[in-house]
Structure 1
Amino acid sequence: MDANDVRGHLDGLLLAVLESGPLHGYGIIEALQRRSGGALQLPTGTVYPALRRLERARWIEGTWSVVDGRKRRTYSLSPAGRKELARRRSEWVRFTGVIGTVLGGGA
């Protein structure tokens, strides 16, 4: 899967990955790959702009630190981000139910 396959769902995926705790940008990309069984291989050029967008929306919070002499930005889910994640999960369940009904071949 590539970035086009997750269009419209990337923000929710990023919020879900951060639910388990703070991660730096590359750690987020690795977590997406790991949790998707390798199906999600998103480039940094897709993930980092989305992280900045989520930070502007105040759904995540970023902090700078220095690790091994290198600056690193670590992101964590904000209280507003937890609410947004819950909303997106509810929307996803409803969406997949409708699509499943249609694709399931029912009358």
Structure 2
Amino acid sequence: MNSITPFPSGSQTSQVAFHRTELAVILSLYGRMVAAGEWRDYGISSLRDVAVFSVFRRTAENPLYRIEKRPKLRSKQGQYAVIGVDGQVLKRGADLKTVLRVLERKLIRAVD
């Protein structure tokens, strides 16, 4: 008489999200850029096909950069991408730390 009732699969929608270790890498860079006075705010979106970490200089404007995770591109171009304010892909790859180096170069210039 002990029967297990599964959750209905049709009503669940899967979303792409950043893992805790991925967020640690992103937030480490974010903290350094805030300390340098370059960035002031961020937003995180978890959608069906993509997770987005948006970086803002001011709260009420368009994001300076978007860090995107698209797992469907894992075997093709790499699941991580940094996209500029104009929509141009600045760097794409399979390793998050390597992709974020394009933004760390801007930190070195800001400190000089």
TM range, smaller chain: under 0.3
**Higher RCO (C-alpha 8 Å, min separation 6):** 1
TM-score of the two chains, using structure 2 as the length reference: 0.26
Compare the two structures and name the one with the higher helix fraction.
Answer: 1
TM-score of the two chains, using structure 1 as the length reference: 0.26
Compare the two structures and name the one with the higher strand fraction.
Answer: 2
